[in-house]
Amino acid sequence: MTRYRNQRRGKPGAWMTWTAWCICCLSFASTTFAQRWEVHERLGNVELFAEFRLLPNVVAAQLESVEEELKRHLDLAQSDDAEIQVIVFKSAGSYRDYLSKRVPQALQRRAIFYRSGDQYQIYAYRHEQLLTDLRHEYTHAVLHRTLPFVPLWIDEGLAEYLEDQPERRAKSSRLRSMKWKCRTGWRPDLRHLEAIPSASRMTSNHYRDSWAWTHFLLNESDQTRMLFRDYLAAISAGGAPGTFSEWVGERDPEVVKRVGSYFRRLQISLR
């Protein structure tokens, strides 16, 4: 079976993810495919195809940044034999024309992560947020290459968090919005996120809250980061650790209560 995941949500600069199953199989063996690419480079474990003169070193720097953060914060890294194909089209029209024959359900999305068995692919097209798209989709690809399964809120939360380049995160409008929202005493509900049955049921608020929980766990303290890392390590080892709320509740029930106060006291850039 073939699974694909695509990430654009309904408003500019936001994301939407949903999972579907189809029977199409993508092939990169044809001469026609090989002739259409202006760029074809291998960047470590990534094979890059582009219909225009996209600078491979620029793409490589962004993907390496994502992988470095996953490794440093959560001890997650691809195996040496992992391969991910990144396919970038010169325009939205070219992108949709190509996908219409293969993944027609994805035509309204700006970028997708697609998995077919052991084949991992990212599709995107040229526009001003291309590098953001690639960072987001590459996060999904690394997670699914590394872990036997990925809880939905973690999959989306990490992709939402890592899509921003590190130097831009302090100026995020999402960060300002969450800070003001939490001033009312509200906090993102982790158990509600864990109960979402499928990606197709996620709303923009779910993506926001998944991002918020990820931001909190990675940045509040060494303790929260280690709890997050240990939970993913249990999954990586083939265990069944249950939900994260259950996991953290057995180790430090106070952690769940601190997420709101974390955002209330956070210092952010207003520029």
105 versus 151: the higher-pLDDT residue is 151
Mean pLDDT (whole number) for 138-152: 95
Q: Kindly report which listed range (30-34, 121-125, 156-160, 256-260) carries the lowest average pLDDT score.
A: 30-34
231 CB contacts (<8 Å, ≥6 apart)? Answer: 241, 244, 247, 248
CATH architecture of residue range(s) 2-146: 3-Layer(aba) Sandwich (3.40)
Residue 75 gets the label, from left (phi > 0), alpha (psi -120 to 50) or beta, of left
Alpha-helical (H) ranges within the chain are 31-35, 56-74, 92-100, 130-146, 152-163, 173-182, 190-194, 204-219, 222-236, 244-251, 254-257, 259-265
Instruction: Give backbone dihedrals phi and psi of 5, rounded to 5 degrees, phi first.
Output: -130, 130
Q: pLDDT tens digits for 148-177?
A: 999 999 999 999 999 999 998 888 888 888
pTM for the model stands at 0.85
pLDDT at 5: 52
Mean pLDDT (whole number) for 102-115: 85
pLDDT at 27: 45
Domain boundaries, the chain: 2-146, 153-265
pLDDT at 209: 96
Q: What is the DSSP letter of 55?
A: -
Q: Mean pLDDT over all residues of the chain?
A: 85
Q: pLDDT tens digits for 217-268?
A: 999 999 999 999 999 999 999 988 999 999 999 999 899 999 999 999 886 5
pLDDT at 20: 34
Q: pLDDT tens digits for 50-61?
A: 999 999 999 999
pLDDT at 22: 36
Mean pLDDT (whole number) for 22-36: 49
Q: Kindly report which listed range (24-38, 157-171, 194-208) carries the lowest average pLDDT score.
A: 24-38
